[in-house]
Homo-oligomer: A and B are copies of this chain.
Amino acid sequence: MYRSHTCGALNASHINTEVTLAGWVQKSRDKGFMIWVDLRDRYGITQLMFDASRTDQAVFEKAKSLGREFVIQVKGTVIERESKNPNIPTGDIEILVTELTILNASVTPPFTIEDNTDGGEDIRMKYRYLDIRRNPVKNNLLFRHKVAQEVRNYLSNQGFCEVETPYLIKSTPEGARDFVVPSRMNAGQFYALPQSPQTFKQLLMVGGMDKYFQIVKCFRDEDLRADRQPEFTQIDCEMAFVEQEDILDMFEGLTRHLLLEVHGLEVEKFPRITFDYAMKTYGNDKPDIRFGMKFGELNAVAQHKDFAVFNSAELVVGIAVPGAATYTRKEIDALIDWVKRPQVGASGMVYVKCEANGVYKSSVDKFYDQADLAQWAAATGAQEGDLILVLSGPANKTRAQLSALRMELGNRMGLRKPDEFAPLWVVDFPLLEWDEDSERFHAMHHPFTSPKPEDMHLLDTDPGKVRANAYDMVLNGNEIGGGSIRIHDKETQALMFKHLGFTEEEAKNQFGFLMDAFQYGAPPHGGLAFGLDRLVSILGGQETIRDFIAFPKNNSGRDVMIDAPSALDPAQLTELSIALNVLEK
Protein backbone atom coordinates (compact mmCIF):
# COMPACT_ATOMS: atom_id res chain seq x y z
CA MET A 1 0.00 0.00 0.00
CA TYR A 2 1.35 3.36 -1.00
CA ARG A 3 -0.30 5.23 1.87
CA SER A 4 -1.18 4.89 5.51
CA HIS A 5 -4.00 7.43 5.27
CA THR A 6 -5.95 9.20 2.56
CA CYS A 7 -5.71 12.93 1.99
CA GLY A 8 -9.07 13.46 3.70
CA ALA A 9 -8.41 11.50 6.88
CA LEU A 10 -6.00 13.42 9.08
CA ASN A 11 -6.96 15.92 11.77
CA ALA A 12 -5.72 17.27 15.08
CA SER A 13 -6.08 13.85 16.71
CA HIS A 14 -3.23 12.59 14.52
CA ILE A 15 -0.67 15.22 15.53
CA ASN A 16 2.79 13.68 15.95
CA THR A 17 1.77 10.57 13.99
CA GLU A 18 4.13 9.36 11.27
CA VAL A 19 2.11 8.96 8.09
CA THR A 20 2.52 8.07 4.44
CA LEU A 21 0.32 9.84 1.91
CA ALA A 22 0.02 9.61 -1.86
CA GLY A 23 -1.82 11.76 -4.33
CA TRP A 24 -1.68 14.57 -6.81
CA VAL A 25 -0.07 17.96 -6.45
CA GLN A 26 -3.00 20.39 -6.47
CA LYS A 27 -0.74 23.40 -6.12
CA SER A 28 2.48 24.44 -4.46
CA ARG A 29 3.69 27.69 -2.97
CA ASP A 30 7.43 28.23 -2.82
CA LYS A 31 8.42 30.93 -0.32
CA GLY A 32 12.13 30.25 -0.70
CA PHE A 33 12.77 28.83 2.73
CA MET A 34 9.39 27.09 2.97
CA ILE A 35 7.40 25.17 0.37
CA TRP A 36 3.75 24.25 0.85
CA VAL A 37 2.09 21.68 -1.36
CA ASP A 38 -1.61 20.83 -1.42
CA LEU A 39 -1.80 17.09 -1.92
CA ARG A 40 -5.12 15.85 -3.36
CA ASP A 41 -6.77 12.49 -3.70
CA ARG A 42 -10.38 11.29 -4.00
CA TYR A 43 -10.94 11.96 -0.30
CA GLY A 44 -9.64 15.45 0.19
CA ILE A 45 -6.65 17.73 0.37
CA THR A 46 -3.84 17.67 2.89
CA GLN A 47 -1.22 20.39 3.17
CA LEU A 48 2.41 19.28 2.97
CA MET A 49 5.18 21.41 4.33
CA PHE A 50 8.85 21.43 3.38
CA ASP A 51 10.98 23.59 5.65
CA ALA A 52 14.51 24.44 4.55
CA SER A 53 15.64 24.45 8.16
CA ARG A 54 14.14 21.08 9.04
CA THR A 55 13.73 19.13 5.78
CA ASP A 56 16.59 17.17 4.28
CA GLN A 57 18.12 19.29 1.55
CA ALA A 58 17.72 16.74 -1.25
CA VAL A 59 14.04 16.36 -0.37
CA PHE A 60 13.65 20.14 -0.28
CA GLU A 61 15.23 20.46 -3.72
CA LYS A 62 12.99 17.74 -5.12
CA ALA A 63 9.96 19.53 -3.70
CA LYS A 64 10.94 22.58 -5.72
CA SER A 65 10.61 20.54 -8.91
CA LEU A 66 7.00 19.47 -8.31
CA GLY A 67 4.49 20.62 -10.89
CA ARG A 68 0.72 20.54 -10.96
CA GLU A 69 -0.74 17.01 -11.13
CA PHE A 70 2.52 15.25 -10.33
CA VAL A 71 1.76 12.02 -8.49
CA ILE A 72 3.83 11.79 -5.35
CA GLN A 73 4.22 9.77 -2.20
CA VAL A 74 5.41 11.42 1.01
CA LYS A 75 6.33 10.32 4.47
CA GLY A 76 6.28 12.72 7.33
CA THR A 77 4.86 13.81 10.64
CA VAL A 78 1.48 15.32 11.26
CA ILE A 79 1.96 18.73 12.88
CA GLU A 80 -0.37 21.49 13.93
CA ARG A 81 -0.88 24.13 11.30
CA GLU A 82 -0.15 27.73 12.08
CA SER A 83 -2.87 29.31 9.98
CA LYS A 84 -5.74 26.88 10.15
CA ASN A 85 -8.26 26.40 7.38
CA PRO A 86 -11.70 25.80 8.92
CA ASN A 87 -13.20 25.01 5.48
CA ILE A 88 -11.65 21.57 5.08
CA PRO A 89 -11.58 18.61 7.48
CA THR A 90 -7.78 18.48 7.40
CA GLY A 91 -7.46 22.22 7.93
CA ASP A 92 -5.98 22.00 11.44
CA ILE A 93 -2.90 20.05 10.44
CA GLU A 94 -0.14 19.78 7.88
CA ILE A 95 2.56 17.20 7.17
CA LEU A 96 6.19 18.03 7.80
CA VAL A 97 7.66 15.92 5.02
CA THR A 98 10.74 13.77 5.54
CA GLU A 99 10.64 11.63 2.39
CA LEU A 100 9.33 12.47 -1.07
CA THR A 101 8.96 10.07 -4.00
CA ILE A 102 7.77 11.25 -7.38
CA LEU A 103 5.61 8.32 -8.55
CA ASN A 104 4.84 9.91 -11.88
CA ALA A 105 5.46 13.34 -13.34
CA SER A 106 2.81 15.23 -15.28
CA VAL A 107 2.92 17.55 -18.21
CA THR A 108 0.81 20.67 -17.75
CA PRO A 109 -2.86 19.66 -17.85
CA PRO A 110 -4.94 21.25 -20.61
CA PHE A 111 -7.30 22.82 -18.06
CA THR A 112 -7.18 23.52 -14.36
CA ILE A 113 -8.23 20.74 -12.01
CA GLU A 114 -10.43 23.02 -9.94
CA ASP A 115 -14.12 23.10 -9.08
CA ASN A 116 -14.45 26.07 -11.41
CA THR A 117 -12.21 24.99 -14.23
CA ASP A 118 -11.06 27.09 -17.16
CA GLY A 119 -11.77 24.13 -19.47
CA GLY A 120 -14.69 24.20 -21.90
CA GLU A 121 -17.00 21.25 -22.51
CA ASP A 122 -15.07 19.92 -25.52
CA ILE A 123 -11.66 19.83 -23.95
CA ARG A 124 -13.05 18.40 -20.73
CA MET A 125 -14.62 15.55 -22.71
CA LYS A 126 -11.42 14.82 -24.62
CA TYR A 127 -9.52 14.59 -21.35
CA ARG A 128 -12.39 13.20 -19.33
CA TYR A 129 -9.93 11.31 -17.10
CA LEU A 130 -8.66 14.69 -15.92
CA ASP A 131 -12.16 16.10 -15.65
CA ILE A 132 -13.05 13.23 -13.29
CA ARG A 133 -10.38 14.46 -10.90
CA ARG A 134 -12.47 17.59 -10.35
CA ASN A 135 -14.79 17.51 -7.34
CA PRO A 136 -18.03 18.29 -9.20
CA VAL A 137 -17.62 15.36 -11.60
CA LYS A 138 -16.12 12.98 -9.05
CA ASN A 139 -18.90 13.74 -6.58
CA ASN A 140 -21.54 13.15 -9.24
CA LEU A 141 -20.12 9.68 -9.92
CA LEU A 142 -20.01 8.87 -6.22
CA PHE A 143 -23.58 10.16 -5.89
CA ARG A 144 -24.69 7.98 -8.79
CA HIS A 145 -23.15 4.95 -7.12
CA LYS A 146 -24.93 5.73 -3.87
CA VAL A 147 -28.29 6.07 -5.61
CA ALA A 148 -27.79 2.81 -7.52
CA GLN A 149 -26.80 0.99 -4.33
CA GLU A 150 -29.84 2.34 -2.50
CA VAL A 151 -32.09 1.22 -5.35
CA ARG A 152 -30.59 -2.26 -5.28
CA ASN A 153 -30.80 -2.58 -1.53
CA TYR A 154 -34.37 -1.31 -1.34
CA LEU A 155 -35.67 -3.55 -4.08
CA SER A 156 -33.72 -6.58 -2.86
CA ASN A 157 -35.20 -6.08 0.58
CA GLN A 158 -38.62 -6.01 -1.05
CA GLY A 159 -37.98 -9.44 -2.58
CA PHE A 160 -36.97 -8.32 -6.04
CA CYS A 161 -34.41 -10.39 -7.94
CA GLU A 162 -32.01 -8.64 -10.29
CA VAL A 163 -31.81 -10.71 -13.45
CA GLU A 164 -29.42 -9.95 -16.27
CA THR A 165 -31.17 -10.04 -19.61
CA PRO A 166 -29.23 -10.39 -22.87
CA TYR A 167 -27.65 -7.54 -24.81
CA LEU A 168 -27.48 -9.35 -28.13
CA ILE A 169 -31.13 -9.62 -29.06
CA LYS A 170 -33.39 -9.23 -32.06
CA SER A 171 -34.09 -6.12 -34.09
CA THR A 172 -37.69 -4.94 -34.26
CA PRO A 173 -38.81 -2.06 -36.44
CA GLU A 174 -41.37 -0.85 -33.88
CA GLY A 175 -40.25 2.07 -31.75
CA ALA A 176 -36.96 3.87 -32.09
CA ARG A 177 -34.10 2.80 -34.33
CA ASP A 178 -31.97 -0.13 -33.13
CA PHE A 179 -28.22 -0.34 -32.96
CA VAL A 180 -27.37 -3.60 -34.67
CA VAL A 181 -24.47 -6.05 -34.48
CA PRO A 182 -23.54 -8.24 -37.45
CA SER A 183 -23.21 -11.91 -36.54
CA ARG A 184 -20.07 -13.56 -37.86
CA MET A 185 -21.30 -17.06 -37.18
CA ASN A 186 -24.70 -16.42 -38.74
CA ALA A 187 -23.69 -14.68 -41.96
CA GLY A 188 -26.05 -11.99 -43.16
CA GLN A 189 -27.85 -11.86 -39.84
CA PHE A 190 -27.75 -9.24 -37.11
CA TYR A 191 -28.34 -8.92 -33.43
CA ALA A 192 -29.82 -5.72 -32.05
CA LEU A 193 -28.83 -4.02 -28.82
CA PRO A 194 -31.85 -3.68 -26.53
CA GLN A 195 -33.81 -0.43 -26.42
CA SER A 196 -35.09 -1.86 -23.17
CA PRO A 197 -35.40 -5.38 -21.75
CA GLN A 198 -39.18 -5.08 -22.15
CA THR A 199 -40.00 -8.45 -23.68
CA PHE A 200 -37.46 -10.28 -21.51
CA LYS A 201 -38.87 -8.91 -18.32
CA GLN A 202 -42.32 -9.92 -19.42
CA LEU A 203 -41.01 -13.42 -20.15
CA LEU A 204 -39.54 -13.48 -16.65
CA MET A 205 -43.04 -12.80 -15.35
CA VAL A 206 -44.33 -15.69 -17.47
CA GLY A 207 -41.44 -17.63 -15.90
CA GLY A 208 -42.75 -16.97 -12.41
CA MET A 209 -39.99 -14.58 -11.29
CA ASP A 210 -42.65 -12.28 -9.90
CA LYS A 211 -40.50 -9.37 -8.75
CA TYR A 212 -37.74 -8.46 -11.18
CA PHE A 213 -35.45 -5.50 -11.51
CA GLN A 214 -32.27 -4.67 -13.33
CA ILE A 215 -30.06 -1.63 -13.60
CA VAL A 216 -29.19 -2.00 -17.23
CA LYS A 217 -27.77 -0.19 -20.23
CA CYS A 218 -30.16 0.42 -23.10
CA PHE A 219 -29.48 1.72 -26.60
CA ARG A 220 -31.34 3.90 -29.07
CA ASP A 221 -29.95 5.05 -32.38
CA GLU A 222 -31.79 8.34 -32.51
CA ASP A 223 -30.61 11.69 -33.70
CA LEU A 224 -29.13 13.12 -30.57
CA ARG A 225 -30.44 16.20 -28.93
CA ALA A 226 -28.72 17.92 -26.11
CA ASP A 227 -28.87 15.64 -23.12
CA ARG A 228 -29.79 12.49 -24.95
CA GLN A 229 -27.22 9.69 -25.10
CA PRO A 230 -27.14 6.74 -27.51
CA GLU A 231 -26.55 4.48 -24.52
CA PHE A 232 -28.38 5.17 -21.30
CA THR A 233 -29.19 3.36 -18.09
CA GLN A 234 -32.56 2.21 -16.85
CA ILE A 235 -33.78 0.89 -13.56
CA ASP A 236 -36.03 -1.68 -15.15
CA CYS A 237 -38.72 -3.28 -12.98
CA GLU A 238 -41.60 -5.70 -13.35
CA MET A 239 -44.04 -7.43 -11.00
CA ALA A 240 -46.60 -10.18 -11.46
CA PHE A 241 -49.97 -10.65 -9.76
CA VAL A 242 -50.29 -6.92 -9.27
CA GLU A 243 -52.61 -4.13 -10.22
CA GLN A 244 -51.59 -0.59 -11.10
CA GLU A 245 -52.08 0.53 -7.51
CA ASP A 246 -49.54 -2.02 -6.24
CA ILE A 247 -46.93 -0.80 -8.68
CA LEU A 248 -47.50 2.86 -7.85
CA ASP A 249 -47.17 2.04 -4.14
CA MET A 250 -44.00 0.01 -4.56
CA PHE A 251 -42.09 2.53 -6.63
CA GLU A 252 -43.39 5.54 -4.78
CA GLY A 253 -41.83 3.75 -1.83
CA LEU A 254 -38.56 3.42 -3.67
CA THR A 255 -38.46 7.11 -4.57
CA ARG A 256 -39.37 8.16 -1.04
CA HIS A 257 -36.55 5.93 0.20
CA LEU A 258 -34.10 7.60 -2.17
CA LEU A 259 -35.14 11.10 -1.13
CA LEU A 260 -34.76 10.10 2.49
CA GLU A 261 -31.40 8.39 2.04
CA VAL A 262 -29.73 10.93 -0.21
CA HIS A 263 -31.30 14.14 1.05
CA GLY A 264 -32.84 13.28 4.41
CA LEU A 265 -36.18 14.42 2.99
CA GLU A 266 -39.50 12.93 4.03
CA VAL A 267 -42.05 13.55 1.30
CA GLU A 268 -45.81 13.26 1.47
CA LYS A 269 -47.76 10.70 -0.48
CA PHE A 270 -47.31 11.59 -4.15
CA PRO A 271 -50.16 13.50 -5.77
CA ARG A 272 -51.79 11.62 -8.65
CA ILE A 273 -53.22 13.47 -11.60
CA THR A 274 -54.56 12.22 -14.87
CA PHE A 275 -52.90 12.85 -18.19
CA ASP A 276 -55.91 14.96 -19.22
CA TYR A 277 -55.69 17.05 -16.07
CA ALA A 278 -51.94 17.51 -16.53
CA MET A 279 -52.39 18.68 -20.11
CA LYS A 280 -55.21 21.06 -19.21
CA THR A 281 -53.57 22.43 -16.10
CA TYR A 282 -49.90 22.56 -17.04
CA GLY A 283 -49.88 22.06 -20.79
CA ASN A 284 -47.66 19.01 -20.58
CA ASP A 285 -47.57 15.53 -19.10
CA LYS A 286 -44.58 16.09 -16.83
CA PRO A 287 -45.51 19.19 -14.88
CA ASP A 288 -43.16 20.87 -12.46
CA ILE A 289 -45.44 21.36 -9.46
CA ARG A 290 -42.85 23.12 -7.33
CA PHE A 291 -44.64 26.30 -8.40
CA GLY A 292 -48.15 27.35 -9.41
CA MET A 293 -49.22 29.35 -12.46
CA LYS A 294 -51.82 26.73 -13.26
CA PHE A 295 -53.61 27.24 -16.53
CA GLY A 296 -56.99 28.98 -16.51
CA GLU A 297 -59.15 28.26 -19.56
CA LEU A 298 -60.82 31.43 -20.70
CA ASN A 299 -63.03 30.39 -23.63
CA ALA A 300 -66.20 30.93 -21.60
CA VAL A 301 -65.17 34.40 -20.43
CA ALA A 302 -63.24 35.67 -23.48
CA GLN A 303 -65.19 34.62 -26.53
CA HIS A 304 -68.28 36.78 -26.04
CA LYS A 305 -66.86 40.05 -27.33
CA ASP A 306 -65.65 41.30 -30.69
CA PHE A 307 -62.04 40.17 -30.32
CA ALA A 308 -61.72 37.97 -33.42
CA VAL A 309 -58.36 36.47 -32.43
CA PHE A 310 -59.95 34.85 -29.40
CA ASN A 311 -63.30 34.13 -30.96
CA SER A 312 -61.75 32.11 -33.75
CA ALA A 313 -59.42 30.17 -31.40
CA GLU A 314 -60.04 26.62 -30.29
CA LEU A 315 -58.57 27.50 -26.91
CA VAL A 316 -57.96 30.69 -24.97
CA VAL A 317 -55.83 30.02 -21.94
CA GLY A 318 -53.86 32.05 -19.43
CA ILE A 319 -51.64 31.97 -16.41
CA ALA A 320 -51.26 34.40 -13.55
CA VAL A 321 -47.62 35.35 -13.01
CA PRO A 322 -47.27 36.18 -9.32
CA GLY A 323 -46.19 39.74 -8.55
CA ALA A 324 -45.53 40.57 -12.18
CA ALA A 325 -48.05 43.41 -12.53
CA THR A 326 -45.10 45.75 -12.08
CA TYR A 327 -43.42 44.56 -15.31
CA THR A 328 -42.65 47.43 -17.62
CA ARG A 329 -43.93 47.59 -21.14
CA LYS A 330 -40.44 46.68 -22.27
CA GLU A 331 -40.32 43.61 -20.06
CA ILE A 332 -43.70 42.46 -21.29
CA ASP A 333 -42.70 43.06 -24.91
CA ALA A 334 -39.65 40.90 -24.30
CA LEU A 335 -41.90 38.11 -23.05
CA ILE A 336 -44.12 38.49 -26.10
CA ASP A 337 -41.05 38.27 -28.31
CA TRP A 338 -39.97 35.19 -26.37
CA VAL A 339 -43.24 33.32 -27.07
CA LYS A 340 -43.09 34.41 -30.71
CA ARG A 341 -39.69 32.81 -31.22
CA PRO A 342 -39.92 29.89 -33.67
CA GLN A 343 -38.99 27.44 -30.86
CA VAL A 344 -42.23 28.40 -29.08
CA GLY A 345 -44.28 29.61 -32.02
CA ALA A 346 -47.06 31.74 -30.56
CA SER A 347 -48.44 34.44 -32.84
CA GLY A 348 -48.98 36.91 -30.03
CA MET A 349 -49.84 37.27 -26.38
CA VAL A 350 -52.44 39.23 -24.46
CA TYR A 351 -51.70 40.49 -20.97
CA VAL A 352 -53.67 41.84 -18.03
CA LYS A 353 -52.08 43.65 -15.13
CA CYS A 354 -53.97 43.13 -11.88
CA GLU A 355 -53.29 46.40 -10.15
CA ALA A 356 -54.25 47.75 -6.74
CA ASN A 357 -57.90 48.10 -5.75
CA GLY A 358 -59.18 45.63 -8.33
CA VAL A 359 -58.16 47.68 -11.32
CA TYR A 360 -57.19 45.74 -14.44
CA LYS A 361 -55.09 47.14 -17.26
CA SER A 362 -54.83 44.98 -20.32
CA SER A 363 -53.60 45.01 -23.88
CA VAL A 364 -57.18 44.32 -24.98
CA ASP A 365 -58.97 47.05 -23.03
CA LYS A 366 -60.87 48.11 -26.10
CA PHE A 367 -62.59 44.70 -26.27
CA TYR A 368 -63.02 43.76 -22.64
CA ASP A 369 -64.31 45.68 -19.64
CA GLN A 370 -63.25 45.41 -16.00
CA ALA A 371 -65.93 42.80 -15.27
CA ASP A 372 -64.62 40.58 -18.09
CA LEU A 373 -61.06 40.89 -16.85
CA ALA A 374 -62.16 40.12 -13.29
CA GLN A 375 -63.54 36.84 -14.63
CA TRP A 376 -60.19 36.13 -16.29
CA ALA A 377 -58.49 36.78 -12.98
CA ALA A 378 -60.87 34.38 -11.27
CA ALA A 379 -60.24 31.68 -13.90
CA THR A 380 -56.45 31.97 -13.65
CA GLY A 381 -56.41 32.52 -9.90
CA ALA A 382 -54.76 35.91 -10.32
CA GLN A 383 -54.36 38.08 -7.24
CA GLU A 384 -53.72 41.78 -6.94
CA GLY A 385 -50.18 42.41 -8.20
CA ASP A 386 -50.18 39.50 -10.66
CA LEU A 387 -49.81 39.61 -14.41
CA ILE A 388 -52.14 37.47 -16.50
CA LEU A 389 -50.64 36.23 -19.76
CA VAL A 390 -53.02 34.78 -22.33
CA LEU A 391 -52.40 32.72 -25.44
CA SER A 392 -54.92 31.41 -27.94
CA GLY A 393 -55.08 29.08 -30.91
CA PRO A 394 -55.34 25.36 -31.57
CA ALA A 395 -55.69 23.63 -28.19
CA ASN A 396 -52.66 21.32 -28.19
CA LYS A 397 -50.25 23.84 -29.68
CA THR A 398 -51.41 26.62 -27.43
CA ARG A 399 -51.05 24.49 -24.33
CA ALA A 400 -47.51 23.56 -25.33
CA GLN A 401 -46.68 27.25 -25.89
CA LEU A 402 -48.09 28.34 -22.57
CA SER A 403 -46.31 25.44 -20.86
CA ALA A 404 -43.01 26.61 -22.33
CA LEU A 405 -43.71 30.12 -21.07
CA ARG A 406 -44.66 28.84 -17.62
CA MET A 407 -41.41 26.87 -17.32
CA GLU A 408 -39.36 29.81 -18.59
CA LEU A 409 -40.95 32.08 -15.99
CA GLY A 410 -40.42 29.41 -13.33
CA ASN A 411 -36.73 29.42 -14.19
CA ARG A 412 -36.41 33.19 -14.40
CA MET A 413 -38.24 33.75 -11.14
CA GLY A 414 -36.18 31.15 -9.28
CA LEU A 415 -39.25 29.02 -8.55
CA ARG A 416 -37.56 25.80 -9.70
CA LYS A 417 -35.44 25.34 -6.59
CA PRO A 418 -32.87 22.56 -7.03
CA ASP A 419 -33.12 21.48 -3.39
CA GLU A 420 -36.89 21.15 -3.46
CA PHE A 421 -38.41 17.88 -4.70
CA ALA A 422 -42.01 17.61 -5.85
CA PRO A 423 -42.75 14.13 -7.18
CA LEU A 424 -46.12 13.09 -8.57
CA TRP A 425 -47.79 10.41 -10.64
CA VAL A 426 -49.45 11.13 -13.95
CA VAL A 427 -51.91 8.34 -14.75
CA ASP A 428 -54.49 7.36 -17.37
CA PHE A 429 -52.34 8.05 -20.41
CA PRO A 430 -53.93 7.53 -23.81
CA LEU A 431 -53.18 4.11 -25.26
CA LEU A 432 -52.52 5.41 -28.76
CA GLU A 433 -51.35 8.61 -30.33
CA TRP A 434 -51.84 9.71 -33.87
CA ASP A 435 -48.70 10.07 -35.92
CA GLU A 436 -48.98 12.69 -38.63
CA ASP A 437 -46.07 11.36 -40.67
CA SER A 438 -47.15 7.74 -40.96
CA GLU A 439 -50.85 8.64 -40.75
CA ARG A 440 -51.58 5.91 -38.28
CA PHE A 441 -51.86 5.35 -34.56
CA HIS A 442 -48.72 4.49 -32.62
CA ALA A 443 -48.53 3.04 -29.13
CA MET A 444 -47.99 6.00 -26.82
CA HIS A 445 -46.05 3.82 -24.36
CA HIS A 446 -45.33 0.55 -26.24
CA PRO A 447 -47.40 -2.16 -27.90
CA PHE A 448 -47.53 -4.29 -24.73
CA THR A 449 -49.47 -1.75 -22.68
CA SER A 450 -52.88 -2.84 -21.50
CA PRO A 451 -55.88 -0.71 -22.47
CA LYS A 452 -58.26 0.06 -19.63
CA PRO A 453 -60.89 -2.70 -19.85
CA GLU A 454 -63.70 -0.16 -19.63
CA ASP A 455 -62.34 1.65 -22.70
CA MET A 456 -61.81 -1.44 -24.87
CA HIS A 457 -65.11 -0.86 -26.67
CA LEU A 458 -63.69 2.39 -28.12
CA LEU A 459 -60.77 0.65 -29.85
CA ASP A 460 -62.64 0.36 -33.15
CA THR A 461 -64.73 3.48 -33.01
CA ASP A 462 -62.53 6.10 -31.37
CA PRO A 463 -59.05 4.68 -30.78
CA GLY A 464 -57.58 7.99 -29.67
CA LYS A 465 -59.95 8.04 -26.71
CA VAL A 466 -58.87 4.68 -25.29
CA ARG A 467 -57.00 5.14 -22.04
CA ALA A 468 -54.21 2.82 -20.98
CA ASN A 469 -53.22 1.48 -17.58
CA ALA A 470 -50.09 3.52 -18.00
CA TYR A 471 -48.40 5.93 -15.64
CA ASP A 472 -45.38 8.19 -15.36
CA MET A 473 -43.52 9.29 -12.30
CA VAL A 474 -42.65 12.96 -12.63
CA LEU A 475 -40.12 14.86 -10.57
CA ASN A 476 -39.51 18.58 -10.86
CA GLY A 477 -40.74 18.81 -14.42
CA ASN A 478 -39.04 15.68 -15.69
CA GLU A 479 -40.41 12.24 -16.41
CA ILE A 480 -38.15 10.07 -14.31
CA GLY A 481 -40.04 6.83 -14.73
CA GLY A 482 -42.88 5.34 -16.68
CA GLY A 483 -44.66 2.09 -17.05
CA SER A 484 -47.88 0.24 -17.46
CA ILE A 485 -49.92 -2.81 -16.74
CA ARG A 486 -49.18 -5.16 -19.63
CA ILE A 487 -51.36 -7.20 -21.85
CA HIS A 488 -51.01 -10.83 -20.69
CA ASP A 489 -53.25 -12.72 -23.06
CA LYS A 490 -52.56 -13.65 -26.63
CA GLU A 491 -55.86 -12.39 -28.05
CA THR A 492 -55.61 -8.86 -26.68
CA GLN A 493 -51.98 -8.68 -27.75
CA ALA A 494 -52.92 -9.79 -31.29
CA LEU A 495 -55.71 -7.19 -31.34
CA MET A 496 -53.27 -4.52 -30.26
CA PHE A 497 -50.76 -5.40 -32.97
CA LYS A 498 -53.58 -5.24 -35.50
CA HIS A 499 -54.56 -1.76 -34.35
CA LEU A 500 -50.95 -0.67 -34.60
CA GLY A 501 -50.90 -1.73 -38.24
CA PHE A 502 -48.94 -4.97 -37.91
CA THR A 503 -49.92 -7.74 -40.29
CA GLU A 504 -50.37 -11.10 -38.59
CA GLU A 505 -47.12 -12.23 -40.15
CA GLU A 506 -45.18 -9.19 -38.95
CA ALA A 507 -46.53 -9.67 -35.45
CA LYS A 508 -45.55 -13.33 -35.52
CA ASN A 509 -42.06 -12.65 -36.93
CA GLN A 510 -41.22 -9.98 -34.42
CA PHE A 511 -43.09 -10.97 -31.31
CA GLY A 512 -44.18 -14.56 -31.93
CA PHE A 513 -42.12 -15.76 -28.95
CA LEU A 514 -44.04 -13.44 -26.64
CA MET A 515 -47.46 -14.41 -27.99
CA ASP A 516 -46.42 -18.06 -27.71
CA ALA A 517 -45.39 -17.48 -24.13
CA PHE A 518 -48.79 -15.97 -23.35
CA GLN A 519 -50.35 -19.36 -24.15
CA TYR A 520 -48.57 -21.10 -21.30
CA GLY A 521 -50.12 -19.47 -18.29
CA ALA A 522 -48.97 -15.86 -18.33
CA PRO A 523 -49.87 -14.10 -15.08
CA PRO A 524 -51.22 -10.54 -14.91
CA HIS A 525 -48.20 -8.26 -14.68
CA GLY A 526 -46.92 -4.75 -15.04
CA GLY A 527 -43.96 -2.62 -14.24
CA LEU A 528 -42.02 0.47 -14.95
CA ALA A 529 -38.59 1.76 -15.78
CA PHE A 530 -36.75 4.74 -14.38
CA GLY A 531 -34.18 6.59 -16.42
CA LEU A 532 -31.25 6.37 -14.04
CA ASP A 533 -29.17 9.09 -15.72
CA ARG A 534 -31.98 11.61 -15.36
CA LEU A 535 -33.12 10.41 -11.94
CA VAL A 536 -29.62 10.82 -10.59
CA SER A 537 -29.11 14.23 -12.14
CA ILE A 538 -32.41 15.55 -10.79
CA LEU A 539 -31.80 14.08 -7.35
CA GLY A 540 -28.41 15.75 -7.62
CA GLY A 541 -30.15 19.07 -8.18
CA GLN A 542 -29.00 19.39 -11.77
CA GLU A 543 -30.60 18.84 -15.14
CA THR A 544 -27.67 17.84 -17.34
CA ILE A 545 -27.36 14.07 -17.43
CA ARG A 546 -23.94 14.22 -19.08
CA ASP A 547 -22.42 15.45 -15.85
CA PHE A 548 -23.53 12.22 -14.17
CA ILE A 549 -22.12 9.85 -16.79
CA ALA A 550 -18.46 8.86 -16.49
CA PHE A 551 -17.71 8.75 -20.21
CA PRO A 552 -20.54 10.37 -22.17
CA LYS A 553 -20.78 10.76 -25.92
CA ASN A 554 -21.15 14.04 -27.74
CA ASN A 555 -24.09 15.08 -29.90
CA SER A 556 -22.70 13.19 -32.88
CA GLY A 557 -22.59 10.02 -30.81
CA ARG A 558 -18.81 10.17 -30.64
CA ASP A 559 -16.56 9.41 -27.71
CA VAL A 560 -14.00 12.13 -28.34
CA MET A 561 -11.62 10.75 -25.72
CA ILE A 562 -11.04 7.37 -27.34
CA ASP A 563 -12.05 8.62 -30.80
CA ALA A 564 -14.87 6.16 -31.44
CA PRO A 565 -16.53 5.10 -33.64
CA SER A 566 -13.71 4.45 -36.09
CA ALA A 567 -12.96 2.66 -39.34
CA LEU A 568 -12.58 -1.11 -39.28
CA ASP A 569 -9.95 -3.25 -40.88
CA PRO A 570 -11.38 -4.50 -44.23
CA ALA A 571 -10.64 -8.10 -43.17
CA GLN A 572 -12.95 -7.60 -40.20
CA LEU A 573 -15.78 -6.54 -42.51
CA THR A 574 -15.25 -9.56 -44.76
CA GLU A 575 -15.32 -11.86 -41.79
CA LEU A 576 -18.65 -10.32 -40.76
CA SER A 577 -20.08 -10.78 -44.28
CA ILE A 578 -20.69 -7.07 -44.74
CA ALA A 579 -19.27 -4.32 -46.92
CA LEU A 580 -19.28 -0.57 -46.67
CA ASN A 581 -21.92 1.23 -48.68
CA VAL A 582 -21.20 4.87 -47.95
CA LEU A 583 -23.16 7.18 -50.22
CA GLU A 584 -21.57 10.35 -51.46
CA LYS A 585 -23.10 13.34 -49.79
A residues engaging B (CB < 8 A)? Answer: 1-3, 22, 24-25, 40-42, 69-71, 103-107, 109, 127-133, 138, 141-142, 144-145, 148-149, 152-153, 156, 161-171, 173, 177-193, 199-200, 203-204, 206-210, 217, 219, 221, 223-224, 230-231, 233, 241-243, 246, 488-489, 512-513, 517-524, 549-551, 553, 556-559, 561-569, 572-583
Asked if A208 and B568 make an inter-chain contact with CB atoms under 8 angstroms apart, the answer reads no
Known: A180-B576, A188-B582. 6 other contacts (CB 8 A): A24-B523, A107-B520, A133-B207, A167-B193, A171-B572, A183-B557
A574: which B residues are within 8 A, CB to CB? Answer: 581
A187: which B residues are within 8 A, CB to CB? Answer: 582-583
Give the docked Cα–Cα distance between A210 and B568 (Å): 33
Asked if B241 and A190 make an inter-chain contact with CB atoms under 8 angstroms apart, the answer reads no
A577: which B residues are within 8 A, CB to CB? Answer: 580-583
Give the docked Cα–Cα distance between A224 and B168 (Å): 15
Give the residue of B130, B223, B521 whose beta carbon is less than 8 angstroms from that of A520.
B130
Q: What are 12 residue pairs bridging A and B, where the CB atoms are less than 8 Å apart in the complex?
A: A2-B242, A41-B208, A42-B209, A104-B518, A106-B520, A167-B231, A170-B566, A173-B569, A189-B566, A513-B561, A574-B581, A578-B580
This chain's copy number in the assembly: 2
Asked if B190 and A566 make an inter-chain contact with CB atoms under 8 angstroms apart, the answer reads yes
CB distance from A27 to the nearest CB of B (A): 13
A524-B2 contact in complex given A170-B562, A186-B556, A209-B42, C-beta closer than 8 Å = yes
- Of all chain B residues, the one with the shortest Cβ separation from A218 is B167
A558: which B residues are within 8 A, CB to CB? Answer: 186
Give the docked Cα–Cα distance between A558 and B96 (Å): 63
Asked if B129 and A166 make an inter-chain contact with CB atoms under 8 angstroms apart, the answer reads no
A130: which B residues are within 8 A, CB to CB? Answer: 206-207, 520
Give the residue of B209, B518, B564 whose beta carbon is less than 8 angstroms from that of A168.
B564
CB distance from A224 to the nearest CB of B (A): 8
Give me the 8 closest cross-chain CB pairs, A-B, nearest first. Answer: A132-B207, A106-B521, A170-B564, A189-B565, A2-B241, A69-B521, A579-B581, A183-B565
Give the docked Cα–Cα distance between A49 and B297 (Å): 59
- Of all chain B residues, the one with the shortest Cβ separation from A156 is B149
Give the docked Cα–Cα distance between A554 and B1 (Å): 44
Give the docked Cα–Cα distance between A435 and B521 (Å): 54
A185-B2 contact in complex given A578-B578, A581-B573, C-beta closer than 8 Å = no
